[in-house]
Each structure stands twice: as structure tokens, then as C-alpha cells.
């Protein structure tokens, strides 16, 4: 009877390090998704803006976003305000910086009288710079000859 050696060679050791590559890949995908979707979340209010040829995306350094939705409700920086609360909020902005621009976004179905009324409240509060936010119209394709 012959026996082999009693020594055993050790097998491969278990890997005790975490593979970071899949984690980094997932995190990069999430960052790209957030970078792409962040500009789309500018305003939570859905307003159908009028289209104008001269419309351009000008960002004023200091501005207040004023929105009038389809029902005529007024929102300042996406918060609904009415009456004295609206005027008080605008006066506060005027006291902080009298050159603050009001960026007025009004739905196309809002009557002009309501827009003029809101503009009157803005001017009464002491803010004289009002910008109307519109969308750039999509150009029509030329007709084939």
C-alpha cells in the first residue's frame, strides 16, 4: 500500500476586494440622466406660452418669475399668491433691488385684461422692468417645388 504525500497545496484564495467598476458605471449613468433632465424641470407649472419671432432666452441676473395660468391664478416663483400677498411679495423684491426684472409668463388663453391687471400690480409694487416670456415658433418647412 502506497500513500501519497500528506502535504496539500493551497487552492486559490477568495477575492476580498470589491470590484468598483460596475458601481462607477451606474453612478455615471445616473449623473448623465440628472444632467439631461435638470433643464427640463425649470418650471413645474404647465403654461401654453405664446410664440413670437423675436423671442430669445435672455437670463437677467436678478428676476422674479410671475406666471398667470389658464384660470387666471397668479404664481410668483411657482407659489400661488393673490391680492395683498402678491403685492407684498413684489414690494419686498423691489426693496431688495429696484432693478429686479419681472419675467411674466401668461398662458395664451388668459384675457389681456387679466395680464394688464397683473402688470398694474407689478408697477404699483415699484418694479418697472417687465419681460414677457414667449416660445420661439417652429419654422415651417419650405414647400417643395
Domains in the chain, ordered, with CATH? 63-132 (3.30.420.270)
β-bridge partners, 98: none
Residue 60 predicted with pLDDT over 50 = no
Point out the least confidently predicted range of 20-29, 48-57, 102-111, 132-141. Answer: 48-57
What predicted TM-score, i.e. pTM, was given to this entire model? 0.54
Within 10 angstroms of residue 123's Cβ, the number of other Cβ atoms is 13
Residue 64 predicted with pLDDT over 90 = no
Between the alpha carbon of residue 136 and those of residues 38, 49, 126, 129, the distances in Å are: 21, 10, 30, 21
HEC states along 32-94?
A: HHHHHHHHHHCCCCCCCCCECCCCCCCCCCCEEEEEECCCCCEEECCEECCHHHHHHHHHHHH
What is the percent of the chain where pLDDT is above 70?
Answer: 74
Amino acid at each position: 500500500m502506497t500513500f501519497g504525500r500528506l502535504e496539500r497545496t493551497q487552492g486559490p484564495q477568495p477575492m476580498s476586494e470589491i470590484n468598483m467598476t460596475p458601481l462607477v458605471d451606474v453612478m455615471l449613468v445616473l449623473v448623465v440622466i440628472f444632467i439631461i433632465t435638470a433643464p427640463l424641470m425649470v418650471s413645474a407649472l404647465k403654461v401654453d406660452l405664446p410664440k413670437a419671432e423675436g423671442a430669445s432666452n435672455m437670463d437677467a441676473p436678478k428676476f422674479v418669475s410671475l406666471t398667470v395660468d389658464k384660470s387666471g391664478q397668479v404664481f410668483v416663483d411657482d407659489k400661488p399668491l393673490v391680492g395683498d400677498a402678491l403685492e407684498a411679495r413684489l414690494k419686498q423684491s423691489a426693496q431688495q433691488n429696484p432693478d429686479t426684472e419681472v419675467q411674466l409668463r401668461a398662458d395664451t388663453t388668459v384675457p389681456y385684461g387679466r395680464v394688464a391687471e397683473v402688470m398694474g400690480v407689478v408697477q404699483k409694487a415699484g418694479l418697472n422692468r417687465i419681460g414677457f416670456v414667449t416660445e420661439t415658433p417652429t419654422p415651417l418647412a419650405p414647400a417643395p417645388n
